Amino acid sequence: MANHKSAIKRIRNSETKKIRNKYKHKSTRTAIKKFLLIDKKKVATKELSALVSMIDKLAKDNIIHSNKASNLKSSLNRHISNLK
């Protein structure tokens, strides 16, 4: 148990950030899964920009690694190129 006031505040802040990061990460994963179910190229290209933005925000906030963000964006672009 923390004894200092600053340590107690740090625990409180880190718990809040953990919940927020978990929500952002989970909502992005859900959006990716929904995106992969799209079978029309025109619709997928419209959705891609919003999804890439979400992924970039996760990488900027260090929720995911920047290389993982690049790999995700690359796989989403590959998915679009395989659509008709």
| pLDDT value, residue 20 | 97
| pLDDT value, residue 36 | 95
Angstrom distance (rounded) from CA 36 to CA 70: 17
Reduced to 3 states, what is the DSSP secondary structure of residue 62?
coil
State pLDDT tens for residues 4-32: 999 999 999 999 999 999 999 999 999 99
Q: Write down the H helix ranges in 1-84.
A: 5-36, 41-60, 66-81
Percent of the chain with pLDDT over 90: 95
Reduced to 3 states, what is the DSSP secondary structure of residue 37?
coil
| pLDDT value, residue 2 | 82
Q: What is the mean pLDDT of residues 51-63?
A: 97
Q: Where are the domains of the chain?
A: 40-84
